[in-house]
């Protein structure tokens, strides 16, 4: 809907026909064709790691009639962590984790999917986290509720499957069920504690309202766990220790790092956005340099006669 509205606005202000096209089709129907077409020169993609890698692979192969090397900018998935240190305000950390994990029902590549908590405050943190999540309202988005439905029946099925996996891998603290009797795909905000750092719930992108709580031995161990996935999109650290914040700046390997705040909410023009590793090409959308990726530099020299 927003894409259609944007295309209509561009048409109304006089953008010539053909400069911007609004195509209604699934990726399976049109994606490969558009990527492989010899007239396609630049591909800017946001979506899953699997599709992004396929685009990169297809774009790398020259097609008959193609006279340029195609460029690909990809913003893919994430398995984003918030590290909660022992030297922090637990109430503030809980508030940030809840907002990052369950805002938009966790349907953001930057959403907090894992919270890694120092063992010395683990029990106190999980107790406060469970209480905060239990108070979240789930209802139609037009109301004043915090959580709405997930996007589709396909998403609902996938998320519920991960919840069943979580029941085998950890301790269910909150939720764990589909909400029946609603016009839409509603799932309870779900939290699992005592998840191992290498468990599926700790490694695979879920893209829904499911949070894994992982216990760390100390801050250094927490950073090591935060870096143990194939992704590297966003991350956050809560600590009042300045030396630990500096350590996070240096060693927390993500494209967007947040200190003493949640790991979501990047603002265009203020927080250029893009991830490392399998999270994408780190193109930093929303920054001034991003626009240059859509251009091609040309160097011109002229010898002036005396």
Which residues are identified as catalytic?
75, 109
**Angle 242-251/219-226 helices, nearest 10 degrees?**
20
Closest-CA residue to 260 (of 148, 97, 111, 147): 97
Q: Which of 218, 169, 220 is nearest to 190 (CA)?
A: 169
- Token representation of residue 32: 């490969």
Between CA 256 and CA 273 the distance in angstroms is 7
Instruction: Please give the distance of CA 90 from its chain centroid, rounded to a whole number.
Output: 24
Distance of CA 55 to the CA centre of its chain: 19
Based on the number of CB atoms within 10 Å of its own CB, is 196 exposed (0-12), middle (13-18) or buried (19 or more)? middle
Task: Quickly tell me which residue has 């109304």 as its tokens.
Answer: 12
């Amino acid at each position: 809907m927003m894409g259609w509205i944007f295309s209509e606005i561009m048409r109304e202000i006089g953008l010539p026909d053909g400069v911007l096209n609004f195509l209604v089709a699934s990726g399976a129907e049109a994606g490969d064709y558009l990527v492989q077409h010899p007239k396609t020169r630049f591909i800017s993609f946001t979506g899953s790691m699997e599709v992004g890698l396929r685009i990169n692979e297809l774009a790398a192969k020259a097609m008959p009639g193609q006279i340029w090397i195609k460029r690909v900018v990809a913003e893919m998935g994430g398995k984003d962590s918030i590290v909660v240190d022992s030297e922090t305000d637990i109430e503030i950390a809980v508030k940030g984790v809840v907002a990052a994990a369950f805002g938009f029902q966790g349907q953001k590549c930057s959403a907090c999917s894992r919270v890694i908590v120092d063992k010395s405050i683990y029990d106190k943190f999980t107790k406060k986290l469970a209480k905060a999540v239990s108070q979240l309202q789930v209802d139609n988005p037009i109301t004043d509720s915090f959580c709405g439905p997930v996007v589709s029946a396909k998403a609902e099925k996938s998320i519920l499957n991960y919840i069943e996996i979580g029941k085998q891998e950890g301790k269910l603290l909150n939720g764990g069920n589909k909400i029946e009797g609603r016009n839409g795909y509603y799932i309870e905000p779900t939290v699992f504690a005592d998840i191992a750092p290498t468990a599926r719930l700790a490694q695979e992108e879920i893209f829904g309202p499911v949070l894994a709580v992982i216990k760390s031995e100390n801050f250094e161990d927490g950073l090591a766990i935060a870096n143990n996935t194939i992704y590297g999109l966003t991350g956050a650290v809560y600590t009042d220790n300045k030396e630990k914040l500096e350590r996070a700046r240096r060693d927390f390997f993500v494209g967007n790092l947040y200190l003493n705040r949640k790991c979501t909410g990047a603002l265009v023009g203020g927080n250029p956005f893009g991830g490392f590793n399998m999270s994408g090409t780190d193109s930093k959308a929303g920054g001034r340099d991003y626009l240059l990726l859509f251009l091609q530099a040309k160097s011109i020299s002229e010898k002036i006669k005396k």
